Chain A
């Protein structure tokens, strides 16, 4: 049935890219199995799929990062062999990865020119002119002479896009381009992408966000378990149908927000000020209360103090000024600052932070699920030896209850897909029966199905009377899930709003300007600094990640 549908769609045009019978495995993990895909000029194609459905792997094969185990790729009807990114450029294919590959100390123009072999003397001014021309044509805003370290995340992304356009890319692939952008920046990016489409380029975006698919794309292709499920015109479909297709059964796309039950102050933060190791102010006079039986959502652009805030509460971050009080059920107070992380853990404060590389904090990639379950509890008892039985039971329990897809409990968590890794992490934190659940980026990069499982878990904790502090990236979700929303900007509390009826635009403004001032795009110098700093970290993580992507992406093939 789906095949017929597809034929109707494509009757009239010739695809610029056709991939057929693509097969790719990483060890025992199948990333793509008999996958196919067609890409057309003058069209924005959204590729949807759960974590590990093989979207990124498939696109990486088009971009020359991986070479398919078998299968054929046709460009403009002719068979093509793409065995390196250089080959991909020769075919006019450019990919913008999730993590930027830019040299921080160079300017935008220098980054664009990097690695190009042009005859004659190198002339940076000529490059800059061409960049300007590209900007004017598609509606980018970029100063070619600006250094990368002075740029915001969205400007860096612009440089990446220009880099591939400059090389003459006709087919652009963007891997989750909006994950790091504010709503306003996202809107701008979409306009640029539409302009490029109208200029006849083929655009492919990989995304998890249904609303973006609906807003931006002309056609949607769905992958499931490494194979192609089908495609359809965006205007003929809706979010429910799409998510049904990508999961394989219908899903309900609603986040429930039960009324807080008997909220009482559990954590009280007063005047908290934190500097990082380099002496930068990361939190500036932050005060708020988190109640039991309530979800306090924390919104903000990544790197604006969220990490420091949670780590300060968990006792992992030295503080400069301020108080953090834990309020017991009987009303007595206990000061958390100065306590060591273990003592804070014993009070029932549990932190699950999902970092960019997913495994860096909280889990040990090379250990199996059982050994990872022990991380919090292995100290129990006076025995010199480990109790390996109860963590094993707990692991079995978590795998069963959260339907973690794993071949067995002895599989190293590194081999699991992102979603399953996060289920293991969140499952362990919840199993410790916390009184305060601090969670950051719990659904980072997760597909719809896994995300909803996690929201559900968090809601159940709330109903059990746990004070939940939820740091998230996706504003829509934050607005639906939180009872109250605290917006952080530049380490300051930019505003605290009730979750019900909060306006997305307003929160977006608060995220970029303390108090929600009018100039939304300008950033303070400090902030730019912070973001560039953050990107330094990216580079470190990158090496590890790019190595793992294959595995973790593919890991999900176990889901079959």
Chain B
């Protein structure tokens, strides 16, 4: 019966770590990921991993322009991330960010096309903003109503809404294609620049970044200090408790999804009016899904999302850089990113738990008996 020995180690919950140690663990995780990536790069491609890393770094910081593009991409991803955050805080699985962004973009593009030569920019741009927000909000509202009234599965519902949105965009692209038969809309109001967000400090991206920065602060305050934010947390943590204290759960779901959709609409507005000045079915570029990861990685803290979205955009930019510099397939960059993300997510385990080895367990026992001995001696 006694064939078993004390296991080599066992897992135990950790005492809460000071923040700098938690960040040290995350740093080590990224470092470990980079080492593994380097080994993999050498084995698979035969390239010098340091050259590859340098190239990744240059992808974001190589030139002033690349740096602006980095910031712009962070801004859009961050905008969608803070948009889905209230929903996820409420444990409403909104994977329809993609569709909500598309609808915001569509509303914006159509208004630009139809009213571009009828209104001055001072009126047109606020109108574009409003319409984008409205379109995104409606796209978020529909699954919320179904969830609140009939408790439908929001994950499937929001996912399906993405396809509807994509098809709608595809349809309107054909309706307004320029020139006829091109299958695309092309730059809207290229000559008049009507409905284009103005350049500030010589940069097309500055206003985008500023708007997102302001929204990030606002959402942080909303979630942390407002009654609405409090209700969202209560509903998310325990619907039963929410009902018990008289919170109307359905109302909170609908209100929160309106907000979530509206913010996705803002992202659509920034994409069309701010940077692209056109619309395609892939304008959201999967960021509606990536944003979910950004939000969870940051544990729903909008400020931490600045970091997580930076990490993801930085790796994306680096990926396209190495694929052009070294003639590597873009998938290889995805592998590198994947390994880093895996380490970043997995290291949370070591922040919450520790491994107690056989030797350490023995030390604890020894420590206790020593203490007990001391106490006995004192008595």
Residues of A bordering B, CB below 8 Å: 21, 23, 25-28, 33-34, 67, 69-71, 78-81, 83, 87, 90-91, 316, 340-342, 345, 351, 353, 359-367, 371, 374-376, 378-379, 383-386, 388, 550-551
Contacts and interface: CB of A to CB of B under 8 A. Distances in A.
A67 B10 CA distance: 8
Contact of A362 (B13, B14, B244): B244
B374 interface: no
A316 B12 contact: no
B66 interface: no
A393 B229 CA distance: 21
Contacts of A385: 225-227
Interface residues of B, number: 36
B227 A386 contact: yes
Interface string B1-32: 11011110010111110000000000000000
Contacts, number: 108
B12 A360 contact: no
Interface of B: 1-2, 4-7, 10, 12-16, 225-230, 233-234, 237-238, 240-241, 243-246, 356, 361-362, 364-365, 368-369, 372
Given A365-B238, A367-B237, A83 B7 contact: yes
B4 A23 contact: no
A171 B312 CA distance: 56
Contact of A360 (B6, B241, B362): B241
A-B pairs, top 4 by smallest CB distance, nearest first, are: A28-B15, A27-B13, A342-B246, A70-B365
A362 B243 CA distance: 9
Contacts of A83: 4, 7, 10
B320 to A, nearest CB: 40
Nearest to B369: A21
A74 to B, nearest CB: 11
Contacts of B243: 316, 341
Contacts of B246: 340-342, 345
Contacts of B365: 21, 23, 70-71
A371 B2 CA distance: 51
22 contacts: A25-B13, A27-B15, A34-B372, A67-B7, A69-B10, A69-B361, A81-B5, A81-B7, A83-B7, A87-B4, A340-B246, A341-B246, A345-B246, A359-B238, A364-B238, A364-B241, A378-B227, A383-B227, A384-B228, A385-B227, A386-B226, A386-B229
B227 A384 contact: yes
A320 B241 CA distance: 24
A23 to B, nearest CB: 6
A363 B242 CA distance: 9
Contacts of A386: 225-227, 229-230
Given A80-B1, A91-B1, 18 more contacts: A21-B368, A25-B13, A26-B12, A27-B15, A69-B10, A69-B12, A316-B244, A360-B241, A362-B241, A362-B244, A362-B245, A364-B241, A367-B233, A367-B234, A375-B234, A379-B227, A384-B228, A385-B227
B230 A78 contact: no
B5 to A, nearest CB: 6
A80 B2 CA distance: 7
Contacts of B13: 25-27, 550-551
Given A361-B244, A364-B237, A386-B225, A69 B4 contact: no
A28 B352 CA distance: 11
Contacts of B362: 70
B161 to A, nearest CB: 29
Nearest to B225: A385
Nearest to A355: B240
Nearest to A551: B13
A364 B241 CA distance: 7
B230 A371 contact: yes
Contacts of B245: 362, 375-376
